[in-house]
Chains A and B, each alone.
Chain A
Amino acid sequence: MKLFFLIAIFTFSLIFVKNLSAQNEIHSPKNVKLFADYLFCEKDYLRAAEEYQKLNGGSMNDTVAYKIALSYYSSYNLEKAKESLKLINKNSIFYDESILESLKIQYLLNEKFNIEYDESLIATLKDEKIHSAFLKLWFTTNLRYPLPGVIDSEENFLDVFEEPLKSMAKELFYLRYYPNYKNPETAGILSAIIPGAGKFYVDEIGDGVMALLTTGIFVFLSYDNFRADHNFRGWLFAGISSLFYAGNIYGSVAAAQIYNARLDYDFGVKLNLFLEDNNFFIPHINFCK
């Protein structure tokens, strides 16, 4: 009886000691993961990624591997996020999401897509939601970096979207394929006919008015001085007015180019906003419940 009691005390003590040590071992894999999860939920993403990467063997699982990639992406370490996503194997429960994340990161890195759009890839995306998300993301990112044969027509593009996304997608499609560009030559010719008209053409009303006024004033000054027989001043103001006139034509051509560049920029901003507002169509997983 005494022996039994003794063995029980020792066993209990040893188990208690082992558990207490394990719990109090701050750098144990279990605690490293706990701490990493905490950092992830606190948005301290780089630290979270570095902590997760200390885990190996039994502590590393599908969720941890995916969260490493998410942590790097969230802290704008896109190259490291891309590398981490490559390590997610096909059997992982997050493999489908990792395909979408890879596509997103390639878009953000302005890289040419090397994910081949083929039926075998689509076939691996078994989940209907993921399949639909992939098509939306693939088609939308192709607006920015088009690959041949992806977007055949407006119908082909809009088919993958449902309302309310469809109306925004349609707007983006038209901005991409039917932008309201201004012709620089037209702007130059208009300004040659009437100083400032080319600037009006590209919606630079104030600059157009100033171009008209400056050219007009110096022409008038030149004429007035010639009329008063002040030939030197007449030629001086004629020269200045010619320079303003030529500068106005030049500036109108440049203004048209800047107008077009602005349209391209605004399109890029709208496209990025559309993607970000919809989380790049990637189903959001809340790891911090």
Chain B
Amino acid sequence: MKFFLFNILLLLQSFLFAQSDWKRWEAEEISYQRSDPHRSREYSFEFENISDFSVKIFTNSYWFFISEVDGDNCPYSPSCSSFFIASVRETNPAQGLLMFFDRFTRDFNIFNRKSHYPHFINGQYFDPPSLYTLEASKIKYTPPVLLTSDK
């Protein structure tokens, strides 16, 4: 048993060193608490201009009366409604609307998503508005791999 353990450890050791000790680190206490895996909504009414405010009223109402009660149907992150808000903020209401309808169309395509979009461990596909603003310099292409964060 000890011999077996020893051999496994020999194989593991270079992998372990490779991961953790290539940067100086300090003591760290992990929190016992768990994170909430459910999608959270930003219900605040903070706005930058009048169109932002109108969009916020519309989406907050949509979330409260419809989206929260009809289940988590959107396979994307951000969700379609959050995508709409972010698109309007990043561009303008008209362009944001077009981006939203394009996203809605892509939402209907249930085939080959995994080979097309990067995805998180919870199964949601990462599809940020920054890819669709028509400004090529803003496009940060991410291949269809498993992501650990949305940064």
Contacts and interface: CB of A to CB of B under 8 A. Distances in A.
Bound pair: A and B? yes
Interface of A: 42-47, 74-77, 184, 206-207, 209-211, 213-214, 243-244, 246-248, 250-251, 253-254, 257-258, 260-262, 264-265
Contacts, number: 93
Given A250-B99, A261-B141, A265-B143, A46 B22 contact: yes
B136 A46 contact: no
B14 interface: yes
User: Which 3 A-B pairs rank lowest in CB-CB distance, beginning with the nearest?
Assistant: A247-B101, A251-B102, A75-B22
7 contacts: A42-B13, A42-B14, A250-B99, A251-B101, A251-B132, A254-B132, A260-B136
A251 B131 CA distance: 10
Q: What secondary structure prevails in chain A residues at the interface with B? A: helix
B134 interface: yes
A251 B100 CA distance: 10
Interface residues of B, number: 30
Contact of A207 (B18, B100, B105): B105
Contacts of A264: 141
Given A46-B24, A47-B21, A75-B23, A247 B141 contact: no
B72 to A, nearest CB: 21
A46 B102 contact: no
A265 B141 contact: yes
Nearest to A248: B105
Interface in B117-135: 131-134
Contact of A210 (B13, B18, B98, B109): B109
